[in-house]
Amino acid sequence: MKVLFLIFMSLLYCSMANAQLWNPDMGNGEYKNPVIYADYSDPDVIRVGEDFYMVSSSFNAMPGIPVLHSKDLINWEIINHVYTSLPFDKYDKPAHGQGSWAPSIRYHEGTFYVYFCTPYEGLFVATTDHPKNEWELTHMLSVELWEDPCPLWDDDGNAYLVRSKLCGDDLYIHKMSPDGKKLLDNGKLVFSDPTQQPTIEGPKIFKKDGFYYILAPAGGVNNGWQTALRASNIYGPWEQKVVLHQGSTLINGPHQGGLVELSSGEWWFAHFQDAGYMGRVVHLQPVEWIDDWPMMGYLEPDSEIGIPFEKHKKPDMGKKYEAKIPQTDDEFNEGQLGLQWQWHANPKTEWFRMNENTLQLNAIQNHSQEGNLWMVPNLLLQKFPAPTFSVTTKIAFQADQEGDKSGLLIMGRQWGYLAMERRNDGDYLCMQEGKFVKCADATVEIESIKITDSQVYLRVDVDEAAQCQFYYSLNNKEFKAIGTPFTAQKGRWIGAKVGLFCLNPNLVKSEGYSEFEWFRYN
């Protein structure tokens, strides 16, 4: 009986712990928002047959532009990235806030296309025959301050590209070659109304029932709304209508996204909400066409503008699909990193090695003073998967030089970590925290203890107030708190992240490393 009781309690603990990760599928035919409670900024969605594909911004994180797949718009998993790195030296270090902004994904004549801009390198397109396969990246145009491109292949075979500019307000349309690889003109300003639609950006263009439509958010990320533009000619004039706003809900924004039609004839809109330290999380709203306008969410009494649903009946797919969320845990036994991981800059092969059953992170030279991690490229991170969670990892620390350091990290404009560090009198377990500052010590030590074990279990708990508390254990059973709680903060256009690092501050190259056996959300 004692054995059965222990087994029951173990299963109960696992069930309670797993429940901490957000599951939007309520199991009763309904879903709750966000459908992805993680930082998938600027989502765009298409349907090809019975499959849905989503892409989102990556900014400085590599590999870039995750590609997600779903069968029902509710349950999503990562299947690929559009590129491994960007072909510019500046991205060998963290180019915070730069990199890929607001991609669009389309399918045309057997080819998948993803378009995006970087703020200072210009316009890119990536193509493939299937989203799971390798993408071919083409740098279409070197130009500054463009953003948020989206293509349209018209009924007559002509191709166009709509885009906005940095800081919004203006929308432009360019003629494009039929293969989608070259712009044919300088573009034409087609919409600008700073009084009624300030900071309009993120345009998505499509055609329906003889009308051209551009969906674009306006009013800013935190307090803006969704605008629909409509015209019978692609160059306008464009009518305008606000089709979704926050209203009386707690869903601020709601910001840009993608519109998709189901085979059942239903229409749905996936958009993001800025959720502070969580980043930009993904919501899903039903769409009803009223007087040839795509009205989103539901109408409050005496209102002509939709407001977001917190929960709703699931999209009509004709069948039920397995509940999924984008990947989180990694046992490091597949010979490659899980698709949930991203580096903070263009990755290099010498940073890590996949052993038979472990991930080896090497102590890469970094000369940032006082533990400043803001410009460290070899941070291996993933998105926060829920507003509250606990994650544990097992580390085997193999230092070579004084200063070698490796451990578990929460990263943003403010960061904190629990790490093993080699000092002149032995190895220490240290909890430190820091923040992005100029001309000042970035990181301070909160607590450290001398330790003789080379293998330690590291844990961090994150609560709904973004308070992060680190723990350690020598047996994976009794965990002791170390240091004090600190508050996670988002980065530059991205949410806070959790992950691993290994580095050394010396001029002489270190042969030190750490092996991580697994990374698990509890």
pLDDT digits (tens, 9 = 90+) for 227-265: 999 999 999 999 999 999 999 999 999 999 999 999 999
Q: Which amino acid is at 55?
A: V
Q: Residue 295 and residue 201: Cα distance in Å, rounded?
A: 19
Query: How many CA within 13 A on the CB side of residue 478?
Result: 1
Peptide bond into 63 cis (omega under 30): yes
For the cut 70, the answer to whether the pLDDT of residue 18 exceeds it is no
Question: To 5 degrees, how large is the angle CA 329–CA 105–CA 226?
Answer: 95
Q: What is the mean pLDDT of the chain?
A: 93
Indicate if 51 belongs to the active site: no
pLDDT at residue 507, as a whole number: 87
pLDDT digits (tens, 9 = 90+) for 371-409: 689 999 999 999 999 999 999 999 999 999 999 999 999
Cα dihedral: 207, 209, 211, 212 (round 10): 0
- Indicate the burial class of 310 (C-beta count within 10 angstroms; 0-12, 13-18, 19 or more): exposed
For the cut 90, the answer to whether the pLDDT of residue 104 exceeds it is yes
Two tokens, residue 491: 């980065």
For the cut 70, the answer to whether the pLDDT of residue 2 exceeds it is no
Indicate if 453 belongs to the active site: no
| Phi, psi torsion values for 18, nearest 5 degrees | -65, -30
Two tokens, residue 304: 């002509």
User: Which one is catalytic: 201, 404, 433, 517?
Assistant: 201
For the cut 90, the answer to whether the pLDDT of residue 14 exceeds it is no
Q: Could you please report the per-residue DSSP string of 488-506?
A: ----SSS--EEEEEEEE--
Paired strand residues for 285: 269
Tell me how long the chain is. Answer: 522
For the cut 50, the answer to whether the pLDDT of residue 481 exceeds it is yes
Q: Residue 31 and residue 51: Cα distance in Å, rounded?
A: 19
Q: 419 falls in which pLDDT band (50, 70, 90)?
A: very high
pLDDT at residue 370, as a whole number: 59
Q: Residue 180 and residue 107: Cα distance in Å, rounded?
A: 11
pLDDT at residue 9, as a whole number: 36
Query: How many CA within 13 A on the CB side of residue 216?
Result: 34
pLDDT digits (tens, 9 = 90+) for 321-359: 988 999 999 999 999 999 999 999 999 999 999 999 999
Q: Which amino acid is at 242?
A: V
Q: 441 falls in which pLDDT band (50, 70, 90)?
A: low
User: Which one is catalytic: 25, 42, 147, 404?
Assistant: 42
Q: Residue 372 and residue 231: Cα distance in Å, rounded?
A: 52
Asked if residue 473 lies in contact with residue 453, where contact means CB atoms within 8 angstroms, the answer is: no
* E-state strands within 439-495: 443-450, 455-462, 467-473, 480-487
How far is Cα of residue 194 from the mean position of the Cα atoms in its chain?
29
Task: Taking residues 58-65, report their average pLDDT.
Answer: 98
Q: Residue 349 and residue 359: Cα distance in Å, rounded?
A: 13
Residue 439 region by backbone torsions, left for phi larger than 0, else alpha for psi between -120 and 50, else beta: left
For the cut 70, the answer to whether the pLDDT of residue 1 exceeds it is no
Two tokens, residue 51: 């499959």
pLDDT digits (tens, 9 = 90+) for 135-147: 999 999 999 999 9
* E-state strands within 204-304: 204-208, 211-218, 225-231, 239-244, 257-261, 267-274, 280-290, 293-296, 298-299
Give which of 356, 401, 376, 304 is closest to 94, Cα–Cα. Answer: 376
How far is Cα of residue 504 from the mean position of the Cα atoms in its chain?
28
pLDDT at residue 191, as a whole number: 98
Give which of 226, 319, 257, 286 is closest to 104, Cα–Cα. Answer: 257
pLDDT digits (tens, 9 = 90+) for 168-216: 899 999 999 999 999 999 999 999 999 999 999 999 999 999 999 999 9
Give which of 294, 301, 384, 306 is closest to 34, Cα–Cα. Answer: 384
List, edge to edge, every strand of the sheet that includes 76-83: 44-48, 51-55, 64-70, 76-83
pLDDT at residue 313, as a whole number: 97
C-alpha dist (Å) from residue 330 to 20, 499, 501: 17, 11, 15
Q: Residue 185 and residue 174: Cα distance in Å, rounded?
A: 6
